[in-house]
Structure 1
Amino acid sequence: MSCASEQTSKNPMYTISKVTQSQLTDKDIFDEELDKEITDYDIQEAAYYAQKGFRVPLKSSIILAQSGAQVPDAYMQAALSNYYNVSVYNGFSKNKSSSNRRKDKEQQVNNNYMKLLRLIAAKGGQNTIIVYWGTIEKGDLDDKTNIVKWSQYEGGKLSSKTKALRYLLKFTLVDVTTGNWSSYSPVNIEIDYVPPKIGSSITDALQIDELMKKSYDNAALLLSEKYKDKTK
């Protein structure tokens, strides 16, 4: 496990390339034990815990992971550290199956990414796991309709038609003990794009960097408000 102070590259072009390598999927995050019989008791127990509500008390210990990244962005670590005690983990999918031979029979072991992470968190005393996905989008002006159309930004130089940028974030929070989860997509931050000029200090990279930092600060605040313990 990495410490929360470990820094990632601040070059957003590198970040975008990095997080598209191996995104976590629902199969990595949620338990899908298709070979296990689901009983009414299982459903009732899950519903009982869900009705109690999902809470992440302020200053509690969490593990943070960014899908597709070895280490979560430093800006996100800093933003969430204002509200929680943050440790970090990689956001790469694991090979779920391994085999051991016992008495000439092959035994399959199926531990997905989240089940492994829950065990690590339990040993470290963390209460909650927070995984997030981030997608930068650019809004380009359509000459025919004069409407801004949004598409995923894949890196590289932005065109003169780009009018705005936004960063879409999605979170999945998992309770270490019960495995119950909650998902959250905060209101996104949108900024006007300023085409760089020769001799100007404004660059595409700096504008994307600013967008990501604002988005992380905003998301951390909204998430902490949504999931704080309201009984205190």
Structure 2
Amino acid sequence: MNATKPILKALTAIAVLLVLGGCGTRSISNAGYRHGNTYGFRGELNELSVLGVRVNEEVSSKEIAAVLEARDGKFIELKRGEVLAVIQSGARFPDKEMLVSLESLAKLVPLSGVSPEPVRLHGEQNKNREPMRIDKSLRMAAAKGGASKMLVYWGILESASEPEQAAKHLSWVPIAGRIIPDETQHVQIRVKAALIDVATGNWSMLRTEPIQDKRMSSRLTRESSDLKQVLALKEKAYDRFAKDLKERFQLR
């Protein structure tokens, strides 16, 4: 019964977002108002590339069995005070709030999570190009920084807007219509991460439960309200992630 509660919460949150208008999704690394500030944003790190997977690479059942045998009973461990390379997908530098949440658990080495430049043919992106496998490059960078573990994390913000019907009756008044709160924005943040052993490339996936928030704003305060809401949600989500990390690896 307890196992179904997180699922029911997630389904309820999704249902709310679908019912409301103005739905949108954006990366935590491109969290500008509404559709994000796309200038300078080069997209997310490909998860499979970070984990060292080639989609078109032929793998035999024998190879899979060998990996399972090698990993049998061996789990990724993280010890308090261990040197940890931290990478936020899509960002040149991890968010300050994440670093603050993790700094009491490990010695941090922040690294860039900017996606490699896509190969372009005649000024256009080559859609047929296989994603570059960057796992060893990231592990080498972490090793040179003295890190034995690497934390690569991704996050998305899902938002929906709900108009306040009472305020709509005043929208014809030029000044009042701009300063009276007339919209409630619902935002949900989801964060997941891969904890990777720098020496072996073995990894473990982590995630936190979604965190929601709602906030009213007027036309004049819409953008500033969105910024405050996103920053508050990031702080809560990163703090929750750090607590989950501490509990999972028993970092006393």
- Report the TM-score, using the length of structure 1 for normalisation: 0.68
Q: Distance in 2 between matches of 1:37 and 1:137?
A: 36
Alpha carbons of structure 1 residues 38 and 214: separation in structure 2 relative to 1, 3 Å: same
Q: Distance in 1 between matches of 2:92 and 2:64?
A: 34
Higher alpha-carbon deviation: 44-53 or 180-189: 44-53
Deviations 1:57-87 (A, max 9, x none): 1221110111111111111111111211111
Residue 221 (structure 1) aligned with residue 240 (structure 2): no
Deviations 1:16-38 (A, max 9, x none): 43695321113421223566765
8 A contact 1:55–1:228 mirrored in 2: no
CA-atom RMSD, angstroms? 3.7
8 A contact 2:163–2:182 mirrored in 1: no
Alpha carbons of structure 1 residues 186 and 20: separation in structure 2 relative to 1, 3 Å: farther
1:1-232 → structure 2 map (5 Å cutoff): 13=32, 16-17=36-37, 21-32=42-53, 38=60, 40=62, 43-49=65-71, 51-94=73-116, 112-141=133-162, 160-196=182-218, 203-228=225-250
Amino acid aligned to 1:81: E
8 A contact 1:186–1:223 mirrored in 2: no
User: 4+ residue stretches of structure 1 with deviation over 6 A?
Assistant: none
8 A contact 2:32–2:227 mirrored in 1: yes
Alpha carbons of structure 1 residues 227 and 133: separation in structure 2 relative to 1, 3 Å: same
8 A contact 1:96–1:113 mirrored in 2: no
Structure 1 residue 163, shift from structure 2 partner: 4.3
SS of residue paired to 1:194: strand
Mark the runs of 5 or more structure 2 residues left unpaired by the alignment.
1-29, 120-130, 165-180
SS of residue paired to 1:17: coil
Structure 1 residue 164, shift from structure 2 partner: 2.3
Structure 1 residue 90, shift from structure 2 partner: 0.9
Q: Distance in 1 between matches of 2:163 and 2:72?
A: 45
Amino acid aligned to 2:81: K
Amino acid aligned to 2:133: N
8 A contact 2:86–2:108 mirrored in 1: yes
Q: Distance in 2 between matches of 1:130 and 1:183?
A: 10
Mark the runs of 5 or more structure 1 residues left unpaired by the alignment.
1-10, 98-109, 144-158
Structure 1 residue 211, shift from structure 2 partner: 1.4
- Report the TM-score, using the length of structure 2 for normalisation: 0.63
Structure 1 residue 142, shift from structure 2 partner: 8.9
Structure 1 residue 171, shift from structure 2 partner: 0.7
The residue that corresponds to 2:6 in the other structure is: none
Count how many residue pairs are aligned between Structure 1 and Structure 2.
Answer: 193
8 A contact 2:211–2:237 mirrored in 1: yes
Q: Distance in 2 between matches of 1:44 and 1:215?
A: 37
